């Protein structure tokens, strides 16, 4: 199960770690500390050295209640960082964006993956992603970031999430993105209660039958605060626990803040699987 990310080929039958690089002034757990391109590069360099296969560059906060960002503002934040990482590091650059302008520009600058929490539903996003000829990560979200955590309800959670994702796969394939360039993400925390998130993590392995590599992000999220009672800066152990579970259930990409620690967990899971072959 190989995927070509702008020339870098990764074996997604193994589990990879993606390091989060927020270039927003208001990100909830990094506080926008990586805003300047040189500071962002330093952070990215460390995550690559720590074992990240991907660096996910994001210029729009999806935190509930976060101020919307103009396309120009997002371009101004993201592009210089994509450019400098491309020049300096050997890694796959993922762009966390819903904006067609950012997709187009980042692809030109050498990005290797489009990570869109809105699954290419924004006006023009689908066309931009097709033109970019890059793999895409499609994520399930119920509602929009501002309101998504207001009493989300599902009749059959796994069916609804899987159904939504397969509908998006159909649309995206028909528009011209080949099946072998699509990753799927259940969208932990995006319109889900703690119980929903746990049910999805529990059934993650069953989502493999959708036929696409699975992408997950749970690092430091509020579901872990709810379980442990800990503030965001104290959620590393819980984040490693859920990353380990996701790796054991067959996730191909795990998006995290703490690459070094997560890599150790992923290596333990890989060693265990190898021993059982």
Binding site for ligand 8Y7 (CB under 6 A): 58, 62, 96, 115, 117, 137, 139, 185, 187-188, 215, 217, 221, 255
Cβ proximity to ligand 8Y7: between 81 and 139 the closer is 139
Q: Which is nearer to ligand 8Y7, 62 or 91 (CB)?
A: 62
Q: What are the contacts of 77-81 at 24+ separation with CB within 8 A?
A: 77/23, 77/24, 77/35, 78/23, 78/102, 78/105, 78/106, 79/105, 79/106, 79/109, 80/37, 81/21, 81/23, 81/37, 81/40, 81/41, 81/44, 81/57
* Residue 255 among the catalytic residues: yes
Q: Is 36 a catalytic residue?
A: no
Going from the C-alpha of 41 to that of each of 21, 35, 47, 86, 268, the distances in angstroms are 9, 10, 10, 10, 28
Nearest by Cα to 61 from 90, 112, 109, 20: 20
Residue 204 has φ and ψ, to the nearest 5°, of: -55, -40
Q: Which is nearer to ligand 8Y7, 6 or 273 (CB)?
A: 6
Which two tokens mark 49? 């050295």
For the bound state, the minimum distance from the C-beta of residue 115 to ligand 8Y7, rounded and expressed in Å, comes to 5
Shortest distance (Å) from residue 42 CB to ligand 8Y7: 20
Cα 76 from Cα 277, distance rounded (Å): 48
Nearer to ligand 8Y7, 91 or 119 (CB): 119
79 within 8 A of 109, measured Cβ to Cβ: yes
Of 83 and 189, the one with the shorter C-beta distance to ligand 8Y7 is 189
Look-up of token digits 């960082």: 81
Of 29 and 38, the one with the shorter C-beta distance to ligand 8Y7 is: 29
Min CB(275)–ligand 8Y7 separation in Å: 30
Catalytically annotated residue among 221, 235, 260, 267: 221
Least separation in angstroms between CB 54 and ligand 8Y7: 11
| CB of residue 14 to ligand 8Y7, shortest distance in Å | 18
* Contact (CB, 8 A) for 100 and 74: no
The nearest distance, CB 109 to ligand 8Y7, in angstroms, is: 19
Catalytic residues: 221, 255
């Amino acid at each position: 199960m190989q995927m070509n990310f702008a020339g870098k080929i990764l074996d997604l039958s193994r589990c990879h770690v993606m390091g989060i690089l927020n270039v927003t002034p208001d990100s909830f757990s990094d506080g926008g500390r990586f805003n300047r391109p040189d500071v962002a590069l330093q952070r990215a360099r460390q995550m690559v050295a720590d074992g990240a296969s991907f660096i996910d560059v994001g210029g729009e906060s999806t935190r509930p209640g976060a101020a919307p960002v103009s396309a120009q503002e997002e371009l101004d934040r993201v592009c210089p960082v994509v450019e400098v990482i491309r020049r300096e590091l050997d890694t796959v650059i993922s762009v966390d964006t819903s904006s067609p302008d950012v997709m187009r520009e980042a692809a030109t600058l050498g990005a290797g993956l489009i990570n869109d929490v809105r699954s290419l539903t924004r006006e023009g996003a689908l066309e931009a992603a097709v033109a970019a000829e890059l793999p895409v990560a499609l994520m399930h979200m119920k509602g929009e970031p501002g309101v998504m955590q207001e009493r989300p309800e599902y009749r059959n959670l796994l069916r609804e999430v899987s159904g939504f994702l397969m509908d998006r796969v159909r649309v995206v394939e028909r528009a011209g993105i080949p099946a072998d360039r699509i990753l799927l993400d259940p969208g932990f925390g995006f319109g889900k209660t703690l119980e929903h998130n746990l049910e999805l993590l529990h059934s993650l392995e069953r989502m493999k039958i959708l036929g696409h590599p699975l992408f997950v992000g749970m690092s430091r999220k509020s579901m872990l605060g709810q379980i442990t009672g800990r503030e965001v800066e104290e959620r590393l152990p819980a984040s490693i626990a859920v990353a380990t579970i996701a790796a054991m259930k067959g996730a191909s990409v795990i998006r995290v803040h703490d690459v070094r620690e997560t890599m150790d967990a992923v290596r333990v899971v890989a060693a265990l699987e190898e021993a059982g072959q």
